[in-house]
Amino acid sequence: MTKKKQTLTASQIKYLITIYHLDICNTGIRCVDIAKNLGISKPSVHTMLQTLCAMKLIKKTKVGSVFLMEEGKAIASQYSQYYQIVCHHFEKYFLLPHNVAKRTAFTVISALSTDNIEIMCNQMNNMGEVVNGVTNIAMSQ
C-alpha cells in the first residue's frame, strides 16, 4: 500500500520551516518562540500546531515542547530549500522587496506539486548560472 502525499498550505509550510530552523539542536521549541518568530498570537500557533500534530508532522510533549517528527523534518528540510531558491530569485531577478518575496515564495511553493516545484527550482538555478555566466562574459569584454 502506497502512502498518500499530504497537501500542505502556505501557512503549514511556513510553520514547518520555522520549527525546522528554530529547533536546529532537536531539543524542542516552545509555542511562544514560534509565535514571536512569526509575529502572530499564541492561540493561532496553538491551533496550527494541533493541525500539524493531527497530520503526524510534529509532536508536542506534556510540557509544551514541539518537535518535528521524521516525516515533518524531511518535508521541512525540502521545503526550506525550495523556499530559499524561490525567494532568492524573486528578490534578485524580479526585484521584489524582501517581505513580498517571502510571502510570494510561500504561496508559490504551496500551490505547486513537489514535482513541479523541483522542476521550477532546477530551472531557477540554471537561469541563475546562465545570468551570472553572461554577466561575467560581458564584464570581461
Q: Where are the domains of the chain?
A: 10-69, 73-133
Q: Which amino acid, residue 114?
A: T
Please give the model's pTM, rounded to 2 decimal places: 0.82
User: Does residue 89 surpass a pLDDT of 90?
Assistant: yes
The pLDDT value given to residue 5: 62
Q: For residue 57, how far is the Cα from the chain centroid?
A: 14
What does pLDDT average to over the chain? Answer: 88
User: Does residue 134 surpass a pLDDT of 80?
Assistant: no
Strand 66-68 versus strand 58-60 pairing type: antiparallel
What topology does CATH give the domain 10-69? Arc Repressor Mutant, subunit A (1.10.10)
User: Does residue 117 surpass a pLDDT of 80?
Assistant: yes
The pLDDT value given to residue 43: 94
More confident residue, 43 or 6: 43
Measured at the CA of 53, the angle between CA 115 and CA 22, to 5 degrees, comes to 75
